[in-house]
Structure 1
Amino acid sequence: MRSIAIDIGNTGTKYGIFEGEALVDQGYFENRQQLPPQLLHQSFDHAIVASVAGDTQFIKTRLAVSGSFLELSAQTALPVRNGYKTPETLGADRKAVAVGAHYFFPGRNCLVIDAGTCITYDFTDSSGQYHGGGIAPGLGMKFKALHNFTGRLPLVQQTENAFSLIGQTTEESIRSGVLAGTLAEVKGIMAEYLQKAPDLVVILCGGDAGFFETNLKGRIFVIPELVLIGLQRILVYNV
């Protein structure tokens, strides 16, 4: 089966092309109204599209799919049990990482930390039940907030994984506050989950996963393609 999984996020769109279970190609584009040429010249047996940021119709009308075209929604059947109290509000990316985590680590308690525009925490237990988690501002959002909601603080970009804990300029102090503060937040949340599930598997994904991989200690699995793989597993479950 040749399939494609498309994840429309807050800042851009990722796609993964699968041959059976194998991820054979992937890419990223920002223009939500125009597919990249390399996708327009291919055909697929099945497709799944998930969006946290708007309409998926432009993909459906332009992509060549001979079989099922699945738009992930609250009604889509999942290969994990959904224990979220308001399933209709649960983001597509959070469903996907829960499914992906259970696929890679069946029979284990899993915490996925997806470090993107937002930092999300999603817990799936060893029996395959998704419970929920948390949503917090991501690194980029925090930098922008300090600039946008103050009169004089500059907009600071995160340019590297290393930073000084004791900032000796305003920019260094902002970087320390955001990066050290977020690391402390993530460490604290991980510790709380470990109290609930001592055998916990922690998985990192998202655009800022590299920063946390570098600066967090302990055994952590980094799976950058977790959302795409989770979407593909949902697709397989439904066709």
Structure 2
Amino acid sequence: MNVVVDLGNSAAKVGIFDHQNLMEKHSFNDQKDLKVFLQSSTADNFIISSVKSEADEIAEWPLVNGKRLILRHTLPLPLTNLYKTPATLGVDRIAGVAGGKQLFPFNNCLVIDAGTCITFDFIDKDGNYRGGAISPGLRMRFQAVHTFTARLPLISPIETPELIGDSTETCIQSGVINGLVAELDGIIEQYRMKFGDLQVILCGGDARFFENKLKASIFASPDLVLVGLNSILIYNVNL
């Protein structure tokens, strides 16, 4: 049994895998609850990906019989990393493209993670990770409109904003959400023009706002990072 942990900015996701099969998944907003869960679990192998600094401490919580790994830029990967500054590459991004390669090993893949930021990561059909782009996320854009103006309010996103807003609130909703959809469609189209056949994979906490609005055909995979972490763990176990 493999236990993988994706520790994000606001929550921790845990996946329990039997080889490549995701058997269970759990989410924790409180680190104390995460600690209780991990300390009560036994793993053959364990890996953690963290955008924070507590990975070393958390990695000691579960009882592990085999490999106990922390995803860092120095860890061997089941892909070729062509990023020029690998030490600055977010571990959640590399786990995402590893998940894309696991799901679609013979395709050009564009992984779009709609989280705090929107990240675009491209891995080609030969397993070369090329890099991508980072853009402000949905809620970050609403916050920026409010923070950097004198009178515009902080607005919450809605599922289907009108194209033409008829109030300040609906104008902000239209501008942020419809503008971001247009951005996503435009970037996907540029990748398609450059690389031809392309598999687009969408994940992240705000994916639901976009998966039915995009013109391009996409594959929604809410567990993509967990799948990628497990593939990295299996790769290292088999070294």
- If the length of structure 1 is used for normalisation, what is the TM-score? 0.95
1:182 alignment partner AA: L
Aligned match of 2:94: 95
Residue 211 of structure 1, aligned match among 209, 212, 224? 209
Find the aligned partners of 1:80 and 1:60 in 2 and give their Cα distance.
24
Aligned match of 2:182: 184
Aligned match of 1:43: 42
The 3-state SS of whatever aligns with 1:215 is coil
Moved more, 35-44 or 221-230: 35-44
The 3-state SS of whatever aligns with 1:62 is coil
> 1:1-239 counterparts in 2 under 5 A?
2-32=1-31, 34-35=33-34, 37-158=36-157, 160-239=158-237
Find the aligned partners of 1:129 and 1:43 in 2 and give their Cα distance.
34
For structure 1, the 5+ residue unaligned runs are: none
Find the aligned partners of 1:34 and 1:218 in 2 and give their Cα distance.
39
1:233 alignment partner AA: S
How far did residue 36 of structure 1 move? Answer: 5.5
CA 33–136 in structure 1, closer or farther in 2 if over 3 Å, else same: farther
2:111 alignment partner AA: V
Find the aligned partners of 2:26 and 2:229 in 1 and give their Cα distance.
15
Report the aligned-residue RMSD: 1.3
Identity of aligned residues (%): 48
How far did residue 120 of structure 1 move? Answer: 0.3
Contact kept, 8 Å, 1:110 with 1:125, in 2: the verdict is: yes
How far did residue 58 of structure 1 move? Answer: 3.2
1:10 alignment partner AA: N
Contact kept, 8 Å, 2:13 with 2:27, in 1: the verdict is: yes
Contact kept, 8 Å, 1:139 with 1:178, in 2: the verdict is: yes
Contact kept, 8 Å, 2:35 with 2:58, in 1: the verdict is: no
User: Deviation string for 1:93-143 (max 9, x for gaps)?
Assistant: 111111111111112111011101110000001111000000011101111
How far did residue 32 of structure 1 move? Answer: 3.5
For structure 2, the 5+ residue unaligned runs are: none
Contact kept, 8 Å, 2:4 with 2:14, in 1: the verdict is: yes
How far did residue 189 of structure 1 move? Answer: 0.5
Contact kept, 8 Å, 1:73 with 1:92, in 2: the verdict is: yes
Find the aligned partners of 2:185 and 2:75 in 1 and give their Cα distance.
33
The 3-state SS of whatever aligns with 2:22 is strand
- If the length of structure 2 is used for normalisation, what is the TM-score? 0.95
Find the aligned partners of 1:115 and 1:208 in 2 and give their Cα distance.
5
Contact kept, 8 Å, 1:29 with 1:36, in 2: the verdict is: no
2:19 alignment partner AA: G
Contact kept, 8 Å, 2:38 with 2:61, in 1: the verdict is: no
2:16 alignment partner AA: I
Count of residue correspondences: 237
Find the aligned partners of 1:5 and 1:170 in 2 and give their Cα distance.
44
